[in-house]
A and B are shown apart, each in its own frame.
Chain A
């Protein structure tokens, strides 16, 4: 029996994916229907089913890894705790004002989302701390006691505390926490300084309120899931994915639940980074395309990009987008994923000026594309792909979703080809190309917008539709190689299996580099490191740390992360830090300050990760798939590259020698298209490698 047997459960809207990574790297998988009344039930049933498939005793499982949607759903469905907020007197409406800017230009009918803590539960406390941490007005404890009475009377379940400048001096927040915990032991308490000790009051308040709001439902969910697992004979520890891509023990997650929001897409990127390392690629754009959206994320020198400018429930989140304010600001490290509304179900339509548009409206799972024959009357991207011959004309998803190809041809002819007076195949091809141009925006948002050249990267495509669009997308971006990893259709669950145990924390640290003494930053780093490492102590394993400083020219508002050496900082280090910052500024923005502008550190951050032995890091490879009939060949249409009778293969039919396109590689959970001019081969890590050609 293997030393470590990890089983992962990733909850999606329709299916819960259960994946087990066996010690030899084999990915065993099982898709079970999600159970929205109690998602944990589907998880436990799925695990039991997979374990039974493999004839393993449940007691052999060493870790249960979980990507859960409970925190996100609590916000999207407004089903979080009854949440109160305590603020500095005069500032209870900061949460409601947000940053004033609205997410949509030119829309007088725009409506803001309701604050997660309603105004009558936002209570003001007399106290004031200045920007330098000095106390201007001492905390009025009588005020706090009155507030506690109100909270008791209003039966609140959670309370967030955010006082001005608490990142500089948390004394007042801590005093209030003591009183709250003493008087209201059953109320979930979140201090802003605990979740985000950084400057900018709205972002800190909002993050603290989100944490409080999702705290009770997350705690209940995790407690119930742990109980059900135990009852099913699975005594292994439950580990939960964070949106930063690291996994954490259930107890820590329960105290900082805001860290697990939107962790599903993060797991896919983690899987991509892991697989890239196995296959030997340092620079990768992870590209994940499913039914409604396409997502892109950058992996550079093996490192994942993170951002702290996330909004929950803000709709589709194009990284770096200009207009923010649509959702609830969450300023915690999340993997920087850019998303556009382009998936298999995206609907093709014409605007009033006659322009052809694809998405962001989606036909969803119901009625779905026209070819599903469930009443869909809109032409979708999947219908175009059926017309082009890229998708199996009989059934999708390894035969589980039967389709009627004629319905796709009818709808593309009726809705696209006839109004424009073009041939059916031209119409379908151009739908495909326009969808590609939408997705390009997602990829550019994480690459060129940040000063990176996509042609320095390979494109790793996963999700049900990733492999269909990847080559065309790569060609437009001058990317030369596409990688379709094994188990691409359940890749988030694979990512859970290979994720590291990780915790990160940043802290405000506003210092001009020219005035900074090494001992000042060393003391701050040591304090932060102790706090971060404490969160990983439960694992009983050694951990490594990675330290960065968020830096900018004095006067700028946005910071760039710069690596710090993992040892005590010397005066020489501080000097080279300025140069490192300037280099990063040059790389990202194409210029640096010529006049020797002073550089400052705004915050320091430490990421700590548990070091696993190599034996615990197998190379994932596809399990022998369920036997699928081999369709042989079919006619496929590649636009200007012509129509070709195209061989249809399985992954296992490829070899280390390149097979020239056109080819279609059909798998249980996804399809990869290799157009003419491109060629495909299999690398040592069972990736399909597509050299895109000219």
Chain B
């Protein structure tokens, strides 16, 4: 720390950079066209230094943490001296441009102060559709990236201020909903322009020399803070195994094996023993694997670690090449989000052993994503929703219900908006009693949602999980219930669909698609649960009288004054269950 930057100036500049990154994010949120950007908020913005290292990130999606670094290193390596004022780059390809998956389109622009490159305004947003074999471009069934839609290597959408119209034409011709994709890209460009303006103002105020020193100090500070936190985690190697159910009608489990080693203030995350890459669209390019590790570690440390590149310096990630967490071209990766969620869940299982009070038992495993597409009244439609979510119990309270996965803080789309904009009717959206894993603190309940098709015909693809391997409990807590995809659950033509569809399924008018979300895992032995909490759950209709007896050993009787705990019967029941166990 030879730089002459006071901690005060550092804080002031850091505040200013965070404010800019947030401003970019707000601009995209308010101007975007597609619901996945505006409601699911599946996008991120950042301000980077001249070397492309993130200084501040306008975070809306936790799994985008660190997502700019590899892409920016690649861009700088490839374009180097050819970057000039007025350029705006566009790219999405994981192999050609170190992107994440094809629907995530990056728009980044260099910021020059005078003739010197001083930084970058960067954005990435998940677009509604980038072509490929299914609407939404997240086909599980893709076996190669060539089937997944439009691949954009590093391209200059604007070259020295001159627009390259051909790129717009190619994009528009290759996607199913060009107005939304083009509108969202424009929102990203608008954000970059504001980023440039604000970044310039910062240079006007503090000068280049001071700010360059500040930027280095921000990285060092983030590293110091991360190391201070990691030192508080007990040394050791913590292992955990978790699964994705597998693909298609006869799923083969996909194994995630992690060994997380804490030594002093360094952390090594080793995925050796994890399944090989597969011929399906859920392989996770290594930048995404890194993002999952960063997100999990940030979640378990109490400090507000800044989203600056320096935070990642103490973290080493070993991801065997050719595995599902570091695939080689041309592995498909359109639906790799599920793999990111599972990496976080697996890391949390490992971290639970080191810091049992800082984590929750397993949740529903991230978004279930149905894509329903077709034509209605001669207009194309693609409906994509991210359905979440429930968490497991913790050392101090029950699992939360109606919450996003820690890796993707996404919103639901209002039912009324769905029905106003798509030929769909939602027929229920409700908690499922008895679905939370039993424990001293209960897992959150699963959620059920029914969609009825009002158009003549449509196709559906679904990305879901946690049927064969439901959310795990911790320290004696039970697993939650499994997830299900059911066609026409109440009527003739009832049919169970796989968790991960490789082929779209055709829906006819009147068909109902039901998704049952998994319940969260419990924390601690269920016989230690306070009977009063069980009674409260019964009153609220979250636990039935039968489940209270069977899972918790609590005898609840309904009297004229409501539900009461039969203390004597409960004691007897619990003694009997403890012996049996």
Chain A interface residues (CB < 8 Å from chain B):
89-94, 96-102, 105-112, 118-120, 130-131, 136, 164-165, 199-203, 320-323, 350-357, 420, 422, 430-431, 433-434, 437-438, 440-441, 444, 448-449, 476, 510, 553, 555-558, 585, 588-591, 593, 597
Contact = CB atoms under 8 A, between A and B. Distances in A.
Contact of B389 (A100, A357, A476): A100
> When A and B form their complex, which 5 residue pairs have the shortest distance between CB atoms, in order from nearest?
A353-B225, A90-B428, A430-B8, A97-B402, A352-B228
A258 to B, nearest CB: 20
Interface in B52-92: 58-60, 62
Contact of B420 (A92, A422, A510, A553): A510
Most chain A beta-carbon contacts within 10 A, residue among B180, B183, B542: B183
A91 B431 CA distance: 9
Interface stretch (B33-41, B99-107, B116-124, B503-511): B33-41
Contacts of B427: 90
B38 A556 contact: yes
B298 interface: yes
Contacts of B41: 101, 322
Nearest to A130: B419
A556 B402 contact: no
Interface residues of B, number: 94
A108 B32 contact: no
Nearest to A198: B416
B326 interface: no
A102 B23 contact: no
B406 interface: yes
A589 B31 contact: yes
12 contacts: A93-B430, A94-B429, A100-B404, A106-B299, A108-B358, A120-B540, A199-B414, A354-B225, A355-B7, A449-B22, A556-B31, A558-B29
A108 B300 contact: yes
A91 B6 CA distance: 55
Given A100-B388, A355-B7, A444-B19, 12 more contacts: A91-B428, A93-B430, A102-B409, A105-B409, A108-B359, A165-B416, A203-B414, A322-B29, A322-B59, A353-B221, A356-B11, A591-B186
B259 to A, nearest CB: 21
A130 B397 CA distance: 39
Contacts of B402: 93, 96-98, 100, 112
B183 A120 contact: no
A557 B32 contact: yes
Contacts of A118: 540
Residue in A89, A105, A585 with the greatest tally of chain B CB atoms within 10 Å = A105
Given A100-B411, A101-B404, A593-B183, A90 B190 contact: no
B520 to A, nearest CB: 11
A437 B394 contact: no
Contacts of B189: 591
A94 B388 CA distance: 13
Contacts of B300: 108
Given A108-B406, A558-B30, A356 B8 contact: yes
Contacts of B299: 106-108
Nearest to B40: A101
A306 B14 CA distance: 29
A356 B217 CA distance: 13
B403 A354 contact: no
Nearest to A102: B403
Interface in B163-204: 179-180, 183, 186-187, 189-190, 193-194, 198
Contacts of A131: 416, 419-420
B7 A420 contact: yes
Q: Is the interface of A mostly helix, strand, loop or mixed?
A: loop
A356 to B, nearest CB: 4
Interface string B414-428: 111101100001011
With a 10 A CB-CB cut-off, give which of B27, B35, B303 has the most chain A CB atoms: B27
B430 A322 contact: no
Nearest to B34: A555
Given A106-B298, A353-B222, A433-B8, A100 B412 contact: yes
A317 to B, nearest CB: 15
B396 to A, nearest CB: 7
B154 interface: no
Nearest to A475: B205
Contacts of A99: 411-412
A97 B406 CA distance: 16
A89 B428 CA distance: 8
Given A93-B402, A111-B400, A557-B38, A437 B416 contact: no
Q: Output the residue of A93, A99, A199, A430 with the most chain B CB within 10 A.
A: A93
A356 B12 CA distance: 10
A441 B15 CA distance: 8
A448 B397 contact: no
B516 interface: no
A352 B225 contact: yes
B59 A353 contact: no
A422 B5 CA distance: 13
B84 to A, nearest CB: 22
Contacts of A444: 19, 23
Contact of A201 (B190, B304, B415): B415
Nearest to B35: A557
Nearest to A356: B7
Contacts of A102: 400, 403-404, 409
B400 A110 contact: yes
A203 B15 CA distance: 32
A573 B222 CA distance: 55
B16 interface: yes
A553 B19 CA distance: 27
B50 interface: no
B212 interface: no
Contacts of A353: 221-222, 224-226, 228, 303, 305
B245 interface: no
Nearest to B401: A96
A449 B412 contact: no
Contacts of A165: 416, 419
B233 interface: no
Contacts of B183: 553, 555-556, 593, 597
A434 B247 CA distance: 53
Contacts of A320: 26
A438 B542 CA distance: 43
Contact of B19 (A93, A356, A440, A591): A440
B98 interface: no
B12 A434 contact: yes
Contact of B400 (A112, A120, A200): A112
A446 to B, nearest CB: 12
B186 A323 contact: no
Contacts of B430: 90-93
Contacts of A350: 7
A400 B6 CA distance: 37
A93 B403 contact: no
Contacts of A597: 179, 183
Q: Which of A203, A355, A588 has the most chain B CB atoms inside 10 A of its CB?
A: A355
A355 B5 CA distance: 11
B25 interface: yes
B270 interface: no
A74 B162 CA distance: 58
Contacts of B542: 119
A354 B397 CA distance: 32
Most chain A CB neighbours (cut-off 10 Å) among B16, B22, B348: B22
Nearest to B414: A200
B190 A591 contact: yes
B228 A120 contact: no
A589 B403 CA distance: 31
Nearest to B298: A106
Contacts of A201: 414-416
Given A352-B228, A354-B221, A589 B429 contact: no
